[in-house]
Each structure stands twice: as structure tokens, then as C-alpha cells.
Structure 1
């Protein structure tokens, strides 16, 4: 019979269906009965996203919340690794404004959830605990506030206007060069072409 295999890393498991030493809970255990084959460390699986099993701290509410966060982060990182090439950020100011908009939208969604709560705390054997929805809402408010503050310090609206004006100037210059290249030298035609381009740029901005 072959040695049992750890389903997480493929190493040699300590027992059939169990983890290997590296993937186990690993908490120190007492050999109160004096059993000769009793391991010095816990051989149970840790709960998903945690380092310990439910018998050695992994089952507490705080540990479970932290484990859920780590699990979600691991899934996000895995998805990120599968993306491949990333598109460059062409306009950091516009990108920052969009991030701030998404943060505010997320905050408003959480605000709606909090508004439906009839009790802002949970009654547990360990005492009252603030609901997760309320904690997330507070974090979202802080994050949105920091982004809005950053936008205000950057004076982003004026900077975006300046960038748009520079881009428009560059387009008009390119049109002027193209007219010269194809031999159109009539000043009235050239001016009319620039006016049409200017109106179009204004309409799409």
C-alpha cells in the first residue's frame, strides 16, 4: 500500500486523508496519557484560510473572519495571475477619479445594507459584537474619504481640463500637418477644416 498523500501540496501525509506536517495545524499538544506514538503537534487540517484547526484557535469568530479575508485575497491573487498582460494606465488622474467613484458606489451599497439592520450588534456567548456590515461600512467610508481628499489635493478637475486642451492642440496640429502633406494650402480650407475638427472635439469631450 502506498504512503498517503497530502491533498493540498502532494507531500507525504501523516495519515490517510490527513495533511502533511507542513500543511497541518501544527499547534503543540500535550501527551497527558503518555502514549508512545502521540505526536508533539496537532495533525488536524487548519480551517480554510487559517493556520490553525478549529480546536486550536481557528474556530474563534475573529480567526474565522480573518480566514475569510485571506481566502478571498488568495482567490483574487489567483485570478490576477491568470490575467496575463495588463493594460497600462494612460491617464492616472482619470483612473484615480474612477477608483474614487467605485469606492463611493461600494460605500452606498453597504449603507443600504446597514439601513435594513434592526440591531447593530450581535449577541454572542462572548458578549456583544459589532455586525460585520457595520464594520465594512465604516471601512468603506474611511477609504472613500481618503480618495476624495487625495482628489481635492490634486486639483484633478483643472488638471484634466489642461490635459484635454493639450490633447486638442495636438490633434489640431496633426490635422494642419496632414493638410500640408496632401497639398492643401488654401488658407480658407485649412481654417474650415480646423473649425470642424474643433467642433467635433468639443462634442466628444
Structure 2
């Protein structure tokens, strides 16, 4: 159900303004910019109104994205101190990439990426602007990760994990008290199974 205006008691179109003539009823114009409150005839295409509309539209899009994916929202309370800055940088980068992907889907679903301004020129939709900003942010974060040696650290962790796995396997096999024939078979079976996991 449409909201009834507190001032006139009637339902408006997209424009929230009132007509000066015809009893001061609601303006029924639907030619309002994304994020705007009033139509062109009521000042909705002035420079300050356009800026305010773009800011509201940006906030609406970001809020909608975070509501659709609560995991993307950062908890406001109970945040622990950063113990591992590199790990935090990695998670922030992943969040930026996730937001970029979500915005990319929104951009792809738009019928038009531009709309006409008051001066007759074309304006880019807020979704596209936010997408381009997210791309720029993602590039900066990825560059920071590369310069921080993140990949070298990941490889080192993988090597440590592999070494722990080998040690654990050796302990398990020692406790099984295998026959000499079974011990020889382990040297064939284990590498085959590990290759199968990576296939």
C-alpha cells in the first residue's frame, strides 16, 4: 500500500512536492532521478539536488547489498584487536572483491547505465560508479598483498602443512605394526591416493 502524505493526506507519485495550483495537491510526476525526492519542475535537477540524490542512491545500493549478504557486514561490537595484519588485509581484500562481484551483477542487470541530467547531458548510474570504485579498491588491495609477500607466506604454510601430514602418516603407520609386505605396499598406495586427490 502506498504511503499517504502527512501534509495533504493524499498519495504522491515519485515526486514528494505539492502543486502550487489545483488546490496544492500532490505532484504526480514520476520523472525523478534515482535517489531523488522531487521532479525537475520542483528543483530535483539542480546541482545540489543531483548530488544529494546520488549520495542517497549510493547509500541505498550499499545498504541493499549488505542486507542481502549479512556476512559481508562488519560487526559493530565485539571486534578483537588485529593479531595478524596480513591475514586481515587478505580478508578485507576478499570482502572488496565480493562487493565488486555483487555490484557487477547489479550493473549487468541494468537496462540503461546512463540517465539524462537537467542540462541535457548524460549521467552514469550510481551502480556503475560504485562498481568502478570497487574495482579500483580491489586493485590497490591486491597490489598491497603482492608487495607484502602474501603468496610466499601461503606457500610456506602449505609446506608446513605437508610436513605435518607426512609426520602424522609416519606415526600412524608405525602404530599399525604392518608386515614388511604391507609397509612396501604403503609406498605405492599413498602416493597414488594423493595424486588422485589433486586430479
Scaled by the length of structure 1, the TM-score of the pair is 0.45
Instruction: Give the number of the structure whose residues are more often helix, by fraction.
Output: 2
Quick one: higher RCO (CA 8 Å, sep 6+), 1 or 2?
A: 2
